[in-house]
Structure 1
Amino acid sequence: MPRFLTFALVAPLASFGGIAVGERRSGWDRPARSAVLGLLGACLGVEREDDAGQESLAGDYALALLCQAPGLLLADYHTAQVPSAARGRRYATRAAELAAPERNTVLSRRDYRSGAWHLAALWPRGEAPRWTLEELAAAMRRPAFVPCLGRKSCPLGLPLAPTIDEAPDAVAALLARHAGGPEARLALGPRRTLRDALAGAGGRSLTVTLDEAEAERIVTPHESLRTERRRDQPRSRRRWQFDLREERVLRVAAP
């Protein structure tokens, strides 16, 4: 039976950004594959300039996400001062930008999610991935860099709490984590958990997303809702380039 590394992605404030163009920085209702792999890279201490390490993260592992609560949309109207653009001039630090003689004010709107609650399942795609599941779990427990859910201003609200378990498929692993994981036992009262409070009235069914090719191997009962195209498959972190990916959205019954 295959093994899966499951972990929690819970934050009081999260940013699930999509393609950022101009002043409008919109976001999704769930994390991107690139964002979760970036979080994993932060735990491992993989730098953006480490092309080999980033390539291993992007190609060696499959990912599935269970959405318990997408969170409430929160828009932030953000203002920042930046120096005027000039050919051949680059600033190494934010302090250097602010010290420039000419500065302009830039206005943007950035979308956040408050109260987002997701679970992730990770498993190797090949026979010899660079890091074993045990090594990934150890890095999550003692991360090299501070993990965040989107931007640096979005720290985790709960520990990642990685666990490795056997399951028939990724959906079964996520449902088992949903039913008996450590974060599922956080109570707000004698009859209400924090997870259910964030989910509201929509807790009878859950949404699971994963790669289109991986969805064909799912044996756990589910309903296929749709296929979406997302530009979140990392190509180059150094140049900040991402490829399109087809993602299947499934509906499953809550245990």
Structure 2
Amino acid sequence: MSGGLLLHLSGPWQSWGGEADFTVRTTHRFPTRSGLTGMIAAALGRPRDSDNTDLTQLRYTIRVDRPGQREADFHTVGGGYPPHLTPATADGKRRPEGKGTIISERWYLADAAFTLAVTGPTATLTLAAEGLARPVYAPYLGRRSCPPDTPILIRAHVPDPVGELDRMPLHRPTAPNKAPQPVTFIYDQAPEPGAHPDAEIRDEAGPNGTCAPRPLWQRTRLLPHAPDTPGGTAWIDALTAYRKEAST
């Protein structure tokens, strides 16, 4: 496959795990590389302990169509059950009386939307495109409780996927005066030669579930907006027209 892929991630909820303990599970404000690697691996039907070294070679440029709103969900597990039905401890025993309920706080992005340009080795791009087009396991946006509300794979064989981020319809409402609005782009490689990173994120998937830090760059530019309606069908129409035009 020459070029790269265009992906779109949107849904009622997304959650891209950040630094967390068992009690509080946070989310980053955009898809993480480790989360995207896991999503593609699941689409390919790979077990959780698979070696995904090939998928870690993919690079992502993220366009933030809608940043979404961070929301917390209060979770309880095992509440109200007798001791022999409460969650087991790490050594397989049951929790003592009065400690059978596990309480946690989990954070999500509500109503967020992202468009991604994916580049990397040709063989890996081809494999990823095949998996996302016909997933073995249903893809989800960071957590299994976060299904996408649109197909993830928008286009394959894109000659310049990063450049297409300027042309693919934005998944957000039009400004009241129909003027371009600022759009945030997140890069995992310097967008200009010698540019210093703007931040660091720990999401480089490593062995045994570990994550290493990596730099990232952020830029904001003005782009025209696709039309939208309360029902959201105008964006689908605009996306369909864009794909049809790109195929001719």
Specify if TM > 0.5: yes
Q: Residue in 1 aligned with 2:182?
A: 205
Which amino acid in the other structure matches residue 192 of structure 2? E
Q: Structure 1 stretches of 5 or more lacking a match?
A: 91-96, 185-194, 219-223
Contact 2:190 2:196 in 1 (8 A): no
Alignment root-mean-square deviation, CA: 2.9
Q: State the distance in 2 between where 1:24 and 1:153 align.
A: 17
Which amino acid in the other structure matches residue 181 of structure 2? R
TM-aligned CA deviation for residue 135 of structure 1: 3.4
Which amino acid in the other structure matches residue 66 of structure 2? A
Q: Residue in 2 aligned with 1:251?
A: 220
Contact 1:69 1:198 in 2 (8 A): no
TM-aligned CA deviation for residue 161 of structure 1: 3.2
Structure having the higher strand fraction is 1
Contact 1:77 1:109 in 2 (8 A): yes
Q: State the distance in 2 between where 1:199 and 1:46 align.
A: 42
Change (3 A) 1:56 1:134: closer
Identity %, equivalent residues: 25
Contact 2:63 2:184 in 1 (8 A): yes
Contact 1:204 1:253 in 2 (8 A): yes
Q: State the distance in 2 between where 1:134 and 1:200 align.
A: 41
**Residue 174 of structure 1, aligned match among 165, 169, 176:** 165
Q: Structure 2 stretches of 5 or more lacking a match?
A: 79-85, 225-248
Change (3 A) 1:162 1:44: farther
Change (3 A) 1:50 1:231: same
| Aligned partner of residue 62 in structure 2, secondary structure | strand
Q: Residue in 1 aligned with 2:116?
A: 120
Q: State the distance in 1 between where 2:102 and 2:153 align.
A: 39
Q: Residue in 1 aligned with 2:153?
A: 161
Q: Residue in 1 aligned with 2:83?
A: none
Q: Residue in 1 aligned with 2:60?
A: 63
Change (3 A) 1:198 1:75: farther
Which amino acid in the other structure matches residue 166 of structure 1? P
Q: Residue in 2 aligned with 1:150?
A: 142
Contact 2:13 2:109 in 1 (8 A): yes
Moved over 3 A (4+): 82-86, 100-103, 197-203
Which amino acid in the other structure matches residue 206 of structure 1? V
Aligned pairs, number: 212
Q: Residue in 2 aligned with 1:106?
A: 102
TM-score where L is the length of structure 1: 0.73
TM-score where L is the length of structure 2: 0.75
**Residue 139 of structure 1, aligned match among 113, 124, 131:** 131
Contact 1:5 1:122 in 2 (8 A): yes
Which amino acid in the other structure matches residue 6 of structure 2? T
TM-aligned CA deviation for residue 57 of structure 1: 0.8
TM-aligned CA deviation for residue 39 of structure 1: 1.0
Change (3 A) 1:198 1:25: farther
Provide, for residues 99-130 of structure 1, a one-character-per-residue CA deviation record: whole Å limited to 9, x for no partner.
x5756212111111111110111111x5xx54
Q: Residue in 1 aligned with 2:77?
A: 80
Q: Residue in 1 aligned with 2:237?
A: none
